[in-house]
Amino acid sequence: MLVDYHIHTKLCGHARGDMEEYVREAIRKGFDEIGFSDHLPLLNKVDPYLTMGWDQFPRYVEEVNRLAWKYSDTIRIRLGVEADYMPGLEDELGQMLERYDFDYVYGSVHNIGDWGFDDSREKDRWESCDVTKTYQEYFDLVKRAVRSGLFDILAHLDLVKKFGYRPEEDHSPLVDQTLDVIAETGTAVELNTSGLRKPVGEVYPDLKAVEGCIERGIPLTFGSDAHRPEEVGLHIPEYIEKLQTLGLKGIALFSKRGRRDAPLEELPRTCVTQGYNDRTVRLTLSERERIRKSAEFDRAFEEGKKIYGDNLGLVWRQNDLEVSRLGVVVTRNIRKATRRNRWKRLLREAFRQNKMRIKEGVDLVLIARSEAIPSFSEVEAEFLRLSQRAGILEGDGPVR
Ligand SMILES: [Zn+2]
Ligand SMILES: [Zn+2]
């Protein structure tokens, strides 16, 4: 079974396409259950670029119900909504949510104070803000949202990373504390694939946090955050598979704000690729899988072979270890520290997400060459192309 609970409509002012087109796209892609979850009108202001008006809301509900009825033989359609959490307005929001018979309510934090931090119109403020403080404030709000008890599912848990700004220091304790609160309250978390289409180039939340959810028994569900019909269900089948390798056992389904955890066995494997399914590899990068010492880099450059793509370079050599290791290098012409760090993260992530496909006992050095930073999927695709040419992918014969 394939599920996509996060679908918007053009009523919100920043999406396009008719609602029926979204449904047809979901059917075409083989989804069994979807839900519309358009933005609830804001309680503190009117912005036709962000949400529909209250006068339009009954029409939204009617149209979801009409489509659910019309397509009931083919696909299950749920009535959901995405509601902004705003501290101080909990009671008002609770009252609004009770007016309709929702199947589920997503809770989102899109604002820190008066700043719509994920709004492209307000992106400039990232350049002058204190990123560390912003992350703290964001996760504090997420915790308050979860504790409010107003929401069934927490949307895009680490949305604050959308434009790619990250604190210099490790912020995983913030995420861990947030996950503890989520686990206490029984709220579900969505794996939201829209981050792959954003500057950050990765899903919300990142797979490390997803592992944290699985460890804590937090129910998980899936959403594309589609704002146009062709985005429905995008990347969800492959991430269901990836999460299986991380230990995911079930998917949370919702009806009339009640949750049912469907076992994963109920899910037919619609896109079995690259043998992910029969492996139980944990997608983390441990210390022994990293090359850090300059002597090791030197050795790779002296003894290894090199090939270059448009954005990346790959150096590789056989090591005499049982693991393959990764070193990352950013060429000197890329000067800005934020750019260099972002590049390094992308390279490590491309390796991390595909390391089960790399042969054992290879030292790889990935080199970022281009000033412009590609999206994660571009980096990943180029990394795999180069690895294939180098003959270091599993099943490719000897390392060339
Ligand atoms: Zn939206
Ligand atoms: Zn959102």
Whole-number pLDDT of residue 276: 29
**Cα dist from 258 to 95, 151, 187, whole Å:** 18, 11, 11
Whole-number pLDDT of residue 177: 98
Per-residue pLDDT band for 272 (boundaries 50, 70, 90) equals very low
Whole-number pLDDT of residue 266: 56
**Beta carbons of 192 and 223 less than 8 angstroms apart:** yes
State the DSSP H helix or E strand holding residue 3, giving kind and residue range, or none if neither: strand 3-7
Give the distance (Å) from ligand 2 centre to CA of residue 196: 14
Cross-strand pairs, 393: 358
Please give the share of the chain, as a percent, with pLDDT higher than 70: 94
Question: Residue with structure tokens 């933005």?
Answer: 39
Give the distance (Å) from ligand 1 centre to CA of residue 8: 6
Q: What pTM, to 2 d.p., does this model score?
A: 0.68
pLDDT 10s digits, 87-131: 999 999 999 999 999 999 999 999 999 999 999 999 999 999 999
Q: What is the Cα–Cα distance from 379 to 350, expressed in whole angstroms?
A: 7
Whole-number pLDDT of residue 281: 33
Ligand nearest to the CA of 111: 2
Give the distance (Å) from ligand 1 centre to CA of residue 15: 7
User: Near ion ligand 2, which residues have CB within 5 Å?
Assistant: 108
pLDDT 10s digits, 366-382: 999 998 888 888 898 99
Give the distance (Å) from ligand 2 centre to CA of residue 108: 6
Which residues, other chains included, contact 348 with Cβ-Cβ below 8 Å and sequence gap of 6+? 285, 326, 328
Q: What is the Cα–Cα distance from 8 to 228, expressed in whole angstroms?
A: 8
Domain ranges for the chain = 3-278, 287-390
Largest interatomic CA distance in the chain: 69
Per-residue pLDDT band for 283 (boundaries 50, 70, 90) equals very low
- What's the whole-number mean pLDDT along residues 66-82? 93
- What's the whole-number mean pLDDT along residues 308-335? 93
Instruction: Please count the other Cβ atoms lying within 10 Å of the Cβ belonging to residue 304.
Output: 18
User: Near ion ligand 1, which residues have CB within 5 Å?
Assistant: 8
**What is the fold of 287-390?**
Ribosomal Protein S5; domain 2 (3.30.230)
> Does residue 342 surpass a pLDDT of 80?
yes
Q: Which two tokens stand for residue 194?
A: 């829209």
Per-residue pLDDT band for 280 (boundaries 50, 70, 90) equals very low
Give the distance (Å) from ligand 2 centre to CA of residue 145: 14
Concatenating the DSSP letter of every residue in 40-68 gives PPPSS---TTT---GGGHHHHHHHHHHHH
Per CATH, 3-278 and 287-390 having the same topology is answered no
Give the distance (Å) from ligand 2 centre to CA of residue 154: 10
Q: What is the Cα–Cα distance from 341 to 289, expressed in whole angstroms?
A: 19
Q: What is the Cα–Cα distance from 256 to 84, expressed in whole angstroms?
A: 20
For the chain, how far is it from start to end, CA to CA, in angstroms?
A: 41
Ligand nearest to the CA of 15: 1
Q: What is the Cα–Cα distance from 222 to 240, expressed in whole angstroms?
A: 8
Superfamily of domain 3-278: Metal-dependent hydrolases (3.20.20.140)
> Does residue 321 surpass a pLDDT of 60?
yes
Whole-number pLDDT of residue 399: 59
- What's the whole-number mean pLDDT along residues 294-305? 94
- What's the whole-number mean pLDDT along residues 244-252? 90
Whole-number pLDDT of residue 34: 97
**DSSP designation for 164:** S
The amino acid at residue 149 is: G
